[in-house]
Amino acid sequence: MTNDITTAGGRKRLAPRREPYWHRITAGNFLGYRKLEDGDGTWVARHRDETGKQHYNALGTFQKFDAAEKKAREWFDQCEGGSPEVLTVEQACKRYVEDRRNEKGENTAKDAEGRFRRLVYGSAFGKIELASLRTAHITDWRNKLVDIDEDDDDPDAERKAKDSANRNLATLKAALNLAYRMGFVSTTAQWDRVESFQKVGRRRERFLTVAERKKLIAAASPALTRLLRAVLLTAARPGELASATVGDLDPAGLLTLQGKTGRRIIPLSPDALAHLKTCAGKRPLEAPLLTRADGKAWTRFDWRDEMSEARTTAGLPDDVVLYNLRHVAISEMIVGGIDPLTVARIAGTSVAMIQRHYGHLAKERIVEKLAKVKML
């Protein structure tokens, strides 16, 4: 066969030239091979639309004709079903943002754009052409969103990360589905097979009664008891207390903490100050404020194991973790009448979070006070 591009031998015998050597695939659809002076040749696909206009798509380099043909046929299918334009994941996402801006308004568009800026734009994933996008690409992208810091002491961190990944995956799928509806890709099969993480809805915070707290503390080792009491008396994150030093305790009644929200200084109640002074003892300023039995600083793995033993001994449910005591402390502060702004500053969180998860407690407190007010 003259100018045969279907075999390696035939392509080797071709004379180098700028114009590709063409091979007809179907009516109006051709696969071309451009022979270069040096190196591997490149493949290009050509499609003639219903108006007679020719469209071209550079396919890159392939060692075998079958691989180049498969790539070309995917593009031909796309052309027959919609648009011959080749779109990348990033370009599809940008089109989706504009669609949301036109259909739903600026706020919806900004939400999607923010997600894509963080997770798609400028990445290797974003550069993948839709016709080449595979289930494995999307699954790997989804899984990388669940990157938990080994030092994160929040037992709910993985659930939260997976819940967030599900929302980002849903937005990505919406962008890809729009590209499909506009004819830029011929099937949705590759992303339809990627499932969201299951059972990651918000976990219900367990509240420990006073009796349960006492049972837990009674079952704990002396070292763990000191940590439990510190969390209850300060509402601090366990990891913040674990990283605090003796020098961070101001005898005047202040404690400096360094955590996920940055550095903050919190006031201490008389009970909290007395407890932490006892924990500090006469040790050096650089020594850990709260220590294990061996005098070393706590890690989340240490307190996880000791909490498991204490929980079992106390006969408490398996879902009771150290972080629950922070939840208890915040709840008791709200019920005790401390305003949400002050509680947020002490706990190192936002007023919005306090109002969202503990607002009902403040409301109940207000109702109790209103019940005591006599107007007539």
Q: What is the pLDDT of residues 6-28, one digit of tens each?
A: 998 899 889 999 899 999 998 88
pLDDT score of 152 more than 60: no
Q: Which residue matches tokens 């499909």?
A: 180
Name the more confident of 36 and 202: 36
pLDDT of residue 219: 96
Please state, in angstroms and rounded to a whole number, the distance separating the CA atoms of residues 108 and 100.
6
Please state, in angstroms and rounded to a whole number, the distance separating the CA atoms of residues 236 and 320.
17
Average pLDDT over residues 332-353: 90
pLDDT of residue 135: 96
Amino acid at 365: R
pLDDT of residue 49: 80
Name the more confident of 82 and 24: 24
Residue 278 near residue 290 (C-beta atoms within 8 A) = no
Please state, in angstroms and rounded to a whole number, the distance separating the CA atoms of residues 35 and 265.
70
Please state, in angstroms and rounded to a whole number, the distance separating the CA atoms of residues 152 and 255.
21
pLDDT score of 276 more than 70: yes
Q: Could you read off the pLDDT of 155-193 as tens digits, one per residue? A: 667 788 898 999 999 999 999 999 988 888 878 999 999
pLDDT score of 259 more than 90: no
pLDDT of residue 296: 94
pLDDT score of 196 more than 70: yes
In the chain the domains, ranked by start, together with CATH numbers, are 8-81 (3.30.160.390), 89-192 (1.10.150), 210-371 (1.10.443.10)
pLDDT of residue 37: 85
Share above pLDDT 90 across residues of the chain, in percent, rounded to a whole number: 57
pLDDT of residue 143: 94
pLDDT score of 83 more than 70: no
Mean pLDDT, all residues of the chain? 88
pLDDT score of 299 more than 80: yes
pLDDT of residue 203: 55
Q: Strands across the sheet with 254-259, in order?
A: 249-250, 254-259, 262-267
- Mean pLDDT check: name the lowest of 18-22, 71-75, 101-105, 266-270: 71-75
Name the more confident of 324 and 154: 324
Name the more confident of 147 and 258: 258
pLDDT score of 204 more than 60: no
pLDDT score of 60 more than 90: no
Concatenated DSSP letters of 100-146: HHHHT-HHHHHHHHHHHHHHTTTSTGGGSBGGG--HHHHHHHHHHT-
Residue 248 near residue 234 (C-beta atoms within 8 A) = no
* Dihedral angle, C-alpha 96, 102, 108, 109, nearest 10 °: 50
Q: Could you read off the pLDDT of 214-249 as tens digits, one per residue? A: 999 999 999 999 999 999 999 999 999 999 999 999
Residue 71 near residue 43 (C-beta atoms within 8 A) = yes
CA distance between the termini of the chain: 106
Please state, in angstroms and rounded to a whole number, the distance separating the CA atoms of residues 129 and 71.
11
Q: Which 3 state secondary structure label does DSSP give 259? A: strand
Please state, in angstroms and rounded to a whole number, the distance separating the CA atoms of residues 185 and 89.
11
pLDDT score of 200 more than 80: no
pLDDT of residue 346: 94
Please state, in angstroms and rounded to a whole number, the distance separating the CA atoms of residues 120 and 114.
10
Average pLDDT over residues 332-339: 90
Please state, in angstroms and rounded to a whole number, the distance separating the CA atoms of residues 320 and 224.
15
